[in-house]
Structures are given as C-alpha cells and as structure tokens.
Amino acid sequence: MTTRRLGALAVVLAAALALSGCGILPFFPGGGGGGGDRPGPTGEDVAAELEQYYTQDVAWSGCGASGIDCAEFTVPLDWDDPAGDTIQIAVARHKAKGTPLGSLLINPGGPGGSGYDFVHDSVNYIVSSQVLAKYDIIGFDPRGVNHSSPVACYTDSADQDEWLYGTYSSAYGTQGWYDELTGRAKDWAAACEQNTGALLGHLDAASVARDMDVIRAVLGDTELHYLGYSYGTYLGTMYAELFPKKVGRMVLDGAVDPTVGDLDALATQMAGFDSGLRAYMEWCLQQSGCPFGGSVDASLQSVRQMLDTVDARRFTASDGRVLDSATVATGIIFTLYSESYWPELSTLFTQLRKGDADTVFVYADAYNGRDPGGYADNSMDIYTAVTCDEGTLADDGVDVFAGLERIDAAAPILGRYAAYDDYAVLKAVCTNWPVPTAKLPDSFTAAGAAPIMVIGTTNDPATPYANAQSLAKQLSSGFLVTYNGEGHTIYAQGVACIDDTVDAYLISGKVPSADPKC
C-alpha cells in the first residue's frame, strides 16, 4: 500500500545538524530542572494484558547532564503479543522549575534520531526558554535507536565503512553495479537479522506511537503534548491517527506527507535539495571568494559536471577512503539543511577542486553519524531498517533504473548521485528484507483530535513545503503555519513570528485565526 515517506534523507542529521546546538540555534538561558515529582501513572482503563505497561513504576536517576534525569520504560516487543517478550525505551527528562503544564514529548526526526541525546545534550536549544519553564521536556529513543533496545547490523566499523563508502568495480548506473550492490545489501540485511533478532520486524511508526502512549500515561499525562521534527512529524501523525482523543498540543515542524509512496517522496525530496542548492548558488555568487562565477544556471551545471567526472579521478582521503560521486552528493546535502552551513559548502567545493577529499568526507561523515573513533550511533542502520519495515520500495513495481531516471528528472543536478547511496541502496535492501512490511493506516484524519499545528518552510530542502500543506489538510483538526525562507525546520531558531506562534499555542492553547505566513 502507499503510505508514507522518508522524512529527512538521513536522520535529520541524527541531531547533528538537526537542532543540536552546533551554532544553528540561538542560546536560551536557563538550565537545570527543578519541579517536584509528578504524580504516578494516570490509572486509565486499558486492556488487562496492557496494565503492566501502563501502570509500571520507573526509576529516575541523574544521567550526567545538569538538570537531566533518565529512566527506562518497558513495552512489548510485539504489540500484537503484549504477553510476549519486552524491550526497553530510554527516556531523558528536563523538569520544569515550577508546576508544569504537563510533559512535552520531543522527537528530532530520522528515522533514527535520538530524542534522548537531543534532550540530554541540548535541551536549552530545542525549545524557547518560556516552554522550557512550563513543561517537563521529554526526549526518548524510539525502539531500535541507540539507548533503547537497539538495531544492530554490522558491529565492526570497517564493515560499516565498506557498506556506506565502498566503491564498486562497475560504474554507477550499470547493471553490474546494481548486481554488486544487491549482493552487499543481502549481506547487510542478513547481519541485521542475526544481530537484532525479532525486534527487526517491529520498528514501524505504529509500534512507536503505542510506545509513546505508554510514556504519556506513566508520566501521568491524560493527553500527549508533542513536538516532532521531520520524521518525528510522521510519528506524531501516527499517534494522532491511533489515539485522536488523547492528543493535547501537538506541533509538527518540517512535515512529512504520510500518504506519499517512497519513490515519489524521494523524488520530491531530491527536487527540494536541488532547490536548496539553487538558493545557495544565488547567495554564493554575491559573495567574495565564491568558487563559482557567471550565471546561477551555469554554476549549477558546473556542479553537475563535477559530479559526472569525480569518479574517474579517484580522489583519496588521508585515511585511505576513495571519494566517489555519491559521497560528494551526500556531503553537499548535509550543508543544505541550513543556510548557516552555506559557507562550509563553498569550502567543500573549493577544496574538492584542489583534489582534497577530506573536506567532503567531513560532511558526509557527519551525515552518516561517523567520527574518527567509529560510528557514534546506529542512525543509518535504523533509517534503512525502518524504511524497509514500513515502506513501499519492495513492492512498488518500479525497476530501480526507472526509479533513478524519475529522480534524475525531478532533480537534474544532485538527484541521481544522491540516489545512488540512498534510493538505490534502499531498493536493494528492502527487496531482500527478511521480515514482512508492517500493515499501517493509509489515511490520516485523526478525527476528534484537538487542533494540531503543522509548520512548513517554503524552501525546506528535506521535507518540501507541499508536504506541510497536504498534511494540514488531511488532519481533520490540522492548521498550517508557514515560514517563508530556507532550511529544514524552523521553530526555536530565532524567528520571532514562528517562535511566538508556537509558544502561544503550547503554553496557552492559542490557535492563530489564520496562517501568520511568517
């Protein structure tokens, strides 16, 4: 069935760029939590087999960051078999200083972004100081992600490097290349099955939404207040569809359209990155030291020519990795998530022209969650695994080469090369995935839900504005808030019109009379 979409191409930068306090967001003063303990679980009526989860006691303890405490919540591995095996969901909490309005559950995106790390490491940056004072801020790692019961595929960094960065004996776009990729995909999927076990088949958004409902109830909230970014908007939408009467104040920023099939979503997303690249080029050509000259269109064609020819040059990084065109596209895309990174994109192009592969790898590694010591998280593993668990690529009837042509037509600068390391990899893995695709809702009206805020940025490269327009219309109580500008997601980034609108809604429940079109 045609369901949803791939959120941010990679994990909303797995909270690396995704609002993590690396200079993208303003600093909000205020630090440790201080409110008293909330009352226990809500005690609401649930099916007898679910009572153990909805009434559980959790043990909170300090977890190394000022004002943050952490706990683990127990949920069923398989929600269709709640008496069976269980898994753990890791939660980090920053308490409001006074009596809170409630808990505000936050997800930074992905699939694969760590809400636990998001709150643990950067709570002062991810909401306004006013919201920080009024809510207990709750970050959680969805099932499969890092601190929760995790997905594990390759456990050796060298194997993961070969999977993510290895070059091929046949040229990209040929049958020989795709045959080689398919062999690697089968090996990777087999490693996931061996090292993850039964959890591999229960990573879908509906299972996560049910986990969120347990967190809500155990925290003592009769309604779920929620802030989701990028793929996190899909989790919020799924929760609203499954539990509409339990929706409190919900903000969905950088919205995913849950009804669009994966290939169409990727083609639209790649077009968004091309649009972001054009916006960068318009800016760059007005700067001294821009590595391009002439018209915007001619400069964009120079980028495409660079991508067309880089494979033959075999630029090699200082660690021995060989740079290919798909990795260059990945590095470029990382810098397009925010216009704050445009100067770094100029540096990338300047260094690449000198044959320096290291600079590209810096940004590609950030995208893939890799650092000099290895892989900091399992974000790329969970991204692929969730896509295969709940996506449409395995059975959409589209040949991979036809899919590549569709993406190339939609995004004639970056699309094909980004797709070699994304769409084609997903196609190869999902076609050979060892577990069935989850059965999920195919419409999302959330009938009976309280008003839901959907935020869209007009030139968002990762989740294009049309997604937000569509989602706001699909949700029976959805309302659209538009930001006319660049970048992926916008709340708590210093735009007063957006921040004031969101804060008034979260704190006072105020719904704007019309789209403020910030």
Q: Which residues are catalytic?
A: 230, 460, 488
**Strand, coil or helix: 251:** strand
**Side chain identity, residue 274:** D
Please list, in sequence order, all residues whose beta carbon lies within 8 angstroms of the beta carbon of residue 216, skipping any fewer than 6 positions away: 103, 105, 223, 224, 246
Question: Rounded to an integer, what distance in angstroms lies between the CA atom of residue 345 and that of residue 339?
Answer: 10
Question: Rounded to an integer, what distance in angstroms lies between the CA atom of residue 227 and that of residue 249?
Answer: 8
DSSP letter (8 states) at residue 154: -
Question: Rounded to an integer, what distance in angstroms lies between the CA atom of residue 150 and that of residue 203?
Answer: 10
**Strand, coil or helix: 509:** coil
Q: Read off the tokens for 288.
A: 């001294």
Question: Rounded to an integer, what distance in angstroms lies between the CA atom of residue 435 and that of residue 78?
Answer: 13
75 phi and psi, to 5 degrees? -135, 160
Question: Rounded to an integer, what distance in angstroms lies between the CA atom of residue 16 and that of residue 24?
Answer: 10
**Side chain identity, residue 107:** N
Question: Rounded to an integer, what distance in angstroms lies between the CA atom of residue 242 and that of residue 238?
Answer: 6
How far is residue 481 from each of residues 104, 246, 249, 514, measured CA to CA in Å?
20, 22, 15, 8
Question: Rounded to an integer, what distance in angstroms lies between the CA atom of residue 164 and that of residue 380?
Answer: 9
Rg (CA), the chain: 22
Question: Rounded to an integer, what distance in angstroms lies between the CA atom of residue 498 and that of residue 445?
Answer: 25
Which of 319, 290, 323 lies closest to 306 in space, CA to CA?
323
Question: Rounded to an integer, what distance in angstroms lies between the CA atom of residue 413 and that of residue 274?
Answer: 6
Number of Cβ within a 10 Å radius of residue 286: 8
Q: Report DSSP letters for 350-396, one per residue.
A: HHHHTT--HHHHHHHHHHHTEETTEES-SHHHHHHHHHHHH-SGGGS
Q: Report DSSP letters for 71-138, one per residue.
A: EEEEEESSTT-TTS-EEEEEEEEE--SSS-SEEEEEE--TTT--HHHHHHHHHHHHS-HHHHHHEEEE
Question: Rounded to an integer, what distance in angstroms lies between the CA atom of residue 153 and that of residue 143?
Answer: 15
